[in-house]
Structures are given as structure tokens and as C-alpha cells.
Chain A
Amino acid sequence: MRPLAILIAAAFLVGCGETDEADDRQTVVAGFYPLAWAAEQIGGQDFRVVNLTPAGAEPHDLELSPRDVTVLRDAALVVYLGGGFQPALDDAVADREGPSLDVFAGDRDPHVWLDPLSFVQVVMRIGRALGRPEPAGDVVKELVALDMSYRRALKRCARRTIVVSHAAFGNLAASYGLTQLPLTGTSPEAEPSPRELERFVDEVRESGATTVFTEPLVSDRLAETVAREADVKVAVLDPVEGLSDSRLAAGENYLSVMRSNLEQLRTALGCR
């Protein structure tokens, strides 16, 4: 019934876990942070989860080292977001023999983890692939609680447009009745021309927004220029694509970042 789980078991029997002598658990490779977080929550102590995107790095830019390629080859499962989100990984997965789980569902906006209820589907699929539906159910409950707090907190707000430095928040905006005004496209480093910039400053003024959101992993220069020209504040809205080592060490995780994003949104939108 669960061919992937059987394959994982088979991989285990023929002796994977050679990647790390001190750790004979099966390895799950995740393309970037939110998938790694979900795999860790679901896999618990039984799996070693490797996040291919280095802590604090931008996942779109992923390049694979020879060591990464070895880890990928030997992993019991690879969980990744296809559809060109991390092109280097799409190629590596195609060369792999073991099972891989592409959580891309053909959405226009690939940032599914930024909408808690949309992320539920991803979590369920990882749970099935690892043969662990119950821990996945626990994560689903946390995501549902997160959805409830977003829904409640963003119900009554003075403004409903969020100005963001990259179009990562479309799913989140759609779920909570907000409008996203992105400074660039869905990949953060496609910069706009001066004319586009000028038009953008006008749009920000017209929207009545009081804040331009930047993100932790990308240069603020563009957002700061727009904010200065449109005379609005700059604040951070984290697309949770990667957490630096120091933030992870400080106990931050997907849920805590999503909650602090909610606080940023409430302040910027004037929610009661």
C-alpha cells in the first residue's frame, strides 16, 4: 500500500547510513528549511534529516557540492520542491535511483509553507512517504492552530495590502484576504528597471501601505529605496526559506518565525 515506505525499508536493509559512521539512522534529505523542519518533526529520532541549503543561505541559489551529491545518492528519501524552485536539485533528483518526493503541486506561487493550511498537504505527503502518519497528524494540528491565529489576528485591519520585496506571500495573502504588492517576481534577485521602480513607488503610495517588507536573506537596498521614496517604514517579513545557525541555536523554528511574521503583519496593517 505504501510503496515508498517499503522502498525505504528495503534501502535500510541493504545498509544505507554509510554517510555518517556515528549515525546509522536513515537519512532524509530536504531541499530547504521548511521541508527539513517538517521532516524532522515527522521523522523524530528515527531519521537523520539533512537540509541541503546551508543555514542562512538563499534556497533558490542552491549549488550542490560533491559531498551533497553523495548524500543525495545515498538518502532513503529526498523531499524537495520541484518546478524550478531549486533547479540544481531538480537535476540531481532526476539522476537518483531511490525514492524522491516532489511536494510541488503545480501552484502558481510555490511558497506553500507560508500558508499554514496549504502546508498541511505537504506535511501529510511527507508523513506517508516516511510511513509515519501519526506524527504528521500532530504537525497538522500545529499548522491548523497557526492558521486559526492568523485568521483571528488578520480579521479586522485598517489596511489589507502588503508591500513585499519578493512575491513569496501570494498564498498567505489569498488565504487571509490580503493583497500582495511585490517589488520583484517570485525569485528575489530579478531586479526591476528604474522605470519599474518609479511605477512601484507610485503604487505603494496609492495603496496606502505604511510599510515595505524586506526579508532576512536578501539585500535591503531596493526595498529601502522604495520605502524612502514612498515615505514609508521598512520591516522584516521572513519567507522562512532558511534560518541562520544563530537563529536555530536561539530556538527559532518554522512556527516561531510564522508567529513573529504575524506580529509584523498586524503592526503594518493596523489590525485590532
Chain B
Amino acid sequence: MSLAVELAGVSFGYRAGQSVLEGVTLKLGEGEFVAVAGPNGGGKTTLVRIILGLERPTAGTALLYGESAHRFSRRRTLGYLAQRSVLGGDAPATVREVVSAGRLAAGGLIGPMRRRDRELVAEAIGRVGLAAQADAPVRTLSGGMQQRAFIAKALAGEPSLLVLDEPTTGVDAESQESLAALLDGLHSDLGVTIVYVSHEFGAVESFVQRLVLVRRTIVFDGSPGELPGLWHDPSHVHA
């Protein structure tokens, strides 16, 4: 199995003597669906930023598809939903417009959408189940539906790696479950590598093959079923 992500001995600190991450070694294969969980402040978001090459580790190496992550040349193949991807109150953009923006970003050009672009936008909207809301302003949708719109935006770029950082923030429990089922479906239909980062992983526990718990370093890496009972509440995770 070729690797999508390869971190070796990665440490990171904003200031000397205060490390956010220490000695993280992690390999994610292409096509894996992995949950990265851990307590708030445990370094999950920093880890994601290093995986995506948005931060450089202060020690160790980070590779994306075999290339140095921060110099990665095929950025358009990365789909990233940053924490709290929601639209400002007055933004009038419709679902189709938001998803189209994802297509334009992936194309790396500003210009008229070609037929293929429009098809990918429509396909992404259909896949996330927002066909009926395609021309509704995103701000009029529920939190769960907005989250789907942003997933469609990432999908429109035909990503090979999809990273979601706290995708369930502000989303009710039922929508969290349907979001997890949606991701499971996309994973099995499209073979896309998914990294799902959250302070809790209950919603995806039954779908992911692999769970990585982070608290400054990796404290657990295995299938959710192997996790000791106490650790199901990530606030109990000890470094």
C-alpha cells in the first residue's frame, strides 16, 4: 500500500521549551479512513496543519505522497475542511456557488466553468444529498446541511485526500451520524483517503478502520475495537 501521509519523529513548538507535538510517527495509507481524536489542546489541529504542509515541523519529517509536505506540488488533490467552515451571516452564496468555488480553486484558474466543471459540481451536490437545496443560499440551511455543502465543495476538486477538522462542531447528534454515514459512503464509493479529526469520535467509530489518539504524541493507534474502555472518553487519555 502506498502512503498518503508519512510523519517521522515530528515535533512542533511555537516557542522553545513548549512543545505542542513531540516525536509523532504516523503512516496513513492511500484509501484509509482514519479518525484522529484527542482532547482539546492536545495538538490535533497542529498535526493536521503539518500533514497538509501548512506548518513545518521543528523536528522530524512530514511527507505527503512521498513529497515534502510543505513543498507538496499537487495541492489541488487535497480537500480540507477547516474548523468551523460555516458561512458568515449575510453571505448570499447558494450551495451551487459554494461548491463551484471548490471546483475553481482546484482548477487553479479564474474563468468560465467548463462543462466538466459543472458536471463535477452537480455530481458533488448529488452525492452529498443536497440536490433539492442546490440553489438555496447556504446560510438558510441547517448546520448539518451547511457542513454537507462544504464537503461537496471539497469533493468538487476531486481530492485524493480529504481532511476534516472538527466537522461536527455546531451540528446536532443526528446530523453527526448522517455526516459520518456520508463520509463512509464517499470512502467506499470513491476510494478517497479520509482523515477525520475530532475531539470525540463516537459518530465515526463504527466506520473507521483505524483510530489515532493524540495527546502531544500518539497515545493509541489501532482499530476502535482495541481501544480500552476508559479511553472512549478522550478527556481520559493520558500522555
Contact = CB atoms under 8 A, between A and B. Distances in A.
A144 B185 CA distance: 18
B44 to A, nearest CB: 24
Interface stretch (B3-11, B45-53, B76-84, B124-132): B124-132
Nearest first, the 9 A-B pairs at minimum CB distance are A120-B126, A117-B131, A117-B126, A118-B131, A133-B189, A144-B123, A144-B122, A121-B129, A144-B119
Contacts of A107: 132
A141 interface: yes
Contacts of A137: 189-190
Contacts of B188: 1-2, 128, 133
Contact of A147 (B122, B184, B209): B122
Contacts of B139: none
Interface string B96-125: 000000000000000000010011001101
A interface bracket (residues with beta carbon within 8 Å of B): 20 to 34
Contacts of A143: 126
B189 A118 contact: no
A136 interface: yes
Contacts, number: 69
Contacts of A125: 185
A120 B127 contact: yes
Nearest to A136: B189
Interface stretch (A29-37, A78-86, A171-179, A208-216): A171-179
A135 B192 CA distance: 17
A148 interface: yes
A115 B119 CA distance: 15
B31 to A, nearest CB: 11
B20 interface: no
Contacts of B115: 148
A7 B233 CA distance: 32
Given A140-B126, A175-B132, A175-B134, A145 B119 contact: yes
A218 B126 CA distance: 31
A120 B132 contact: no
B189 A128 contact: yes
7 contacts: A107-B132, A115-B132, A120-B126, A133-B188, A133-B189, A144-B119, A175-B134
B172 interface: no
Contacts of A119: 126
B135 A115 contact: no
B132 A147 contact: no
A105 B132 CA distance: 12
A107 B189 CA distance: 23
A175 B123 contact: no
A147 B132 CA distance: 12
A147 B126 contact: yes
A242 interface: no
Contact of B132 (A141, A144, A145, A171): A171
Contacts of B184: 1
A39 to B, nearest CB: 16
B189 A117 contact: no
A127 interface: yes
A107 B209 CA distance: 32
A193 B133 CA distance: 34
Contacts of A115: 131-132
A157 B75 CA distance: 42
